[in-house]
Amino acid sequence: LGSSPVTIVVTSEADTWDIDTSSCPGCGHFVDWDQMPEAQQEAQIPRDVLERPPKELKRLARAGCWAGSHAGRARLYPRLIQRVSCRLVTPDALVYRDVAGRLFGKRSVSSHPLPEFLEGCPMPTYCLNPHGVTALKKILICVGELFPDITHSPLLPALAALLLHYSRDEAQCFESLARLIASNAPHAAYIDQSFLAHQASCMTFGDLANKHCPAAHRLIAGAAHDVLEVYSEWLSWLFPGLPFAFAVRVLDVFLLEGQKVLYRIALALLKQFRLSAAPAGPQGSDIKAELQAFVGNIAQHVSVEKLLERAFGIRLFSRKEIWLLQMANRKALVERGITVVQRRPSFHLAVDMQSFSSSVVTAQEMRLVWAWIPERFSLFPPLLLFSTSRDGCSLQRFYTCCEGYEPTVLLIKTTEGEVCGAFLSSDWSERKKSGATSGFFGTGECFVFTVRPEADRYEWVFIKKPELAKAVPRSRQRSPSPAAESPLGSSRDSPSPNLLAVPSPQRRGRLSPFLAVRHFLLPSKSASMFMCGSRDGIVIGKGG
């Protein structure tokens, strides 16, 4: 009844539309075994595997304990998913049989539109046979019927297809999928169910790539006009991008550890892409297509065991810290007008730097700087607050122009033509809270950078080496005053060089600061503060 196309599933009389109610404990009637990879070797799955503690289960899954047995996965998957904490009222196999019998009970030609949340989402079939493809569509239609709040979910069809390979019937597959959809485990979501949640996870991945894959991030920032657009497809690198043998190994761990595993694998793929693309860099103008092609041929570059080993070697934030970052990104999207019920963005999210003009940096250089800052801030176009060519060289004038704004980016051009700067996470007005003394403020998201002659970024040491936090002694010394004769951040009175700070109380409408002291087990309340300002000068950084 509108101009938008509707996808229709048309089933002939020959299709088996009745629900398989067989009690057969086996699986595989949805699978084309000619396409299915051979099991490597019979898995030695411990008899008491389900009684093992969660940490031990994770270790076994990461090591591929049940990777060699299709039957082993078929036995384990439903039992592992039954352990997922979910909402009290969650549709199960009996509900599926009832709804599917009502929708698809007649054997005559039937047509049912696929749910709207699948619009624009890939629907991989992997090794499913025609009967399995039909079953997959029926399951997704029933998900749309029973979960009407889902508006956008790129992961859901791939997850349904993978689970169907190891399900004894459609009803069991549906029940497993429903429990993952309805999961209410704290800070451990499995499936994004709206465009807002999905886009927040894409921005979170961009933040993680910025922190953990700086070389690959710089490569993409240099090759793509819109870095966020590249990272918006990070989930499709995994599903349906990865070959079945890789995808199902990811699923083994995903069922136990949730979405954090997907971030790990995607970061490992990005690191591997950087290694494979060096030193020539991307060969064409379409970096997104090159990434997808690379992931599709990943077996030529690295084994699944090596990929998982590299993924779990990355020191990521905890689930809670990632969740906090997702919430901050979600809030930024809401400020840009994205709503929970919105299916697709009605405008372009990324900032167009082509119209950016500056005497300090070029548009291309500013695009790189914008790729370094946290994703939730890069959604917004830069606004010029202060310039020495326009506002003069008074430090007090600098403070006056910048107060009331956060975050800010400071760009400095020397008389020799070199360009450096800093990303400053907090409002300069916070310097006044120290009274007559010059105290530090800010959060661990602050960083300094160079643009010319070489582009590089220097950030908080704890981001890459969180274990250093445990070795930091508690400091009772006062923060230094930024005297003109002291080298930048190297005063002899400065506290321990690895300390940072607690942010000030939140103002309404402010985007949540991240990487503050509460996100790490730090012994000092000044541990994430890297900004200091007085009448004599400013300091960005601390220690040696």
Please tell me the distance from the alpha carbon of residue 256 to that of residue 289, in angstroms, as a whole number: 31
Q: Is 146 exposed, middle or buried (0-12, 13-18, 19+ CB in 10 A)?
A: middle
pLDDT tens, position by position, 140-149: 999 999 999 8
Q: Which of 132, 159, 182 is the last residue of a domain?
A: 182
Of 128, 149, 182, which residue is a domain's last?
182
One domain, residues 332 and 225: yes
CA distances from 132 to 28, 101, 147, 171, 196 (A): 9, 17, 22, 13, 31
Assess contact for 439 and 532: CB atoms under 8 A: yes
Listing DSSP states for 474-518 in one string gives P--PPPPP--TTS-TT--TT---TT---PPPPPPTTPPPP-S-GG
44 shares a domain with 89: yes
Taking the chain (544 residues) in runs of 10, the rounded mean pLDDT of each run is 47 36 55 82 71 88 86 90 88 92 68 84 91 93 92 94 94 95 85 91 91 88 83 92 94 92 95 79 73 93 94 86 87 80 58 77 85 83 90 91 91 93 89 73 86 86 57 42 37 36 38 45 57 85 67
Residues 324 and 456 in one domain: no
Please say whether the beta carbons of 478 and 435 come within 8 A.
no
CATH of the domain at 294: 1.10.472.80
- pLDDT value at residue 520: 43
Q: How far is CA 36 from CA 99, 127, 301, in A?
A: 31, 6, 21
3-state secondary structure of 424: strand
Count the domains in the chain: 3
Please list, residue by residue across 457-483, b when 16 or more beta carbons sit within 10 angstroms of its beta carbon and e when fewer do: bebbebbeebeebeebeebeeebbbbe
Q: Give me the pLDDT at residue 26, please.
A: 52
- Shared domain for 177 and 218, answered yes or no, is no
Same domain, 271 and 246: yes
CA nearest to 471, candidates 436, 497, 505, 507: 497
Per-residue pLDDT reduced to its tens digit, 466-513: 555 554 444 433 333 333 333 333 333 333 333 333 333 343 344 444
Q: How far is 445 from 456, CA to CA, in rounded Å?
A: 16
User: Do 142 and 283 fall within a single domain?
Assistant: no
Distance CA 311, CA 208 (A): 13
Asked whether the CA dihedral 34, 36, 37, 42 is positive or negative, the reply is negative
d(CA 495, CA 484): 19
Torsion over CA of 347, 149, 200 and 124, rounded to 10 degrees? Answer: -90
Q: Which pLDDT does position 528 carry in this prediction?
A: 65
How far, in Å, CA of 533 to CA of 535, rounded? 7
Token pair for residue 413? 């051009």
533 and 395 inside one domain: yes
| Final residue before a domain boundary, out of 121, 148, 182 | 182
Name which of 408, 367, 380 is nearest 217 in CA terms.
Answer: 367
Phi first, then psi, for residue 167 (nearest 5°) are: -105, 145
> If you search the block for the tokens 């069991």, which residue do you land on?
172
- C-beta neighbour count of 354 within 10 angstroms: 9
Task: Determine the structural domain holding residue 169 and report its residue range.
Answer: 33-182
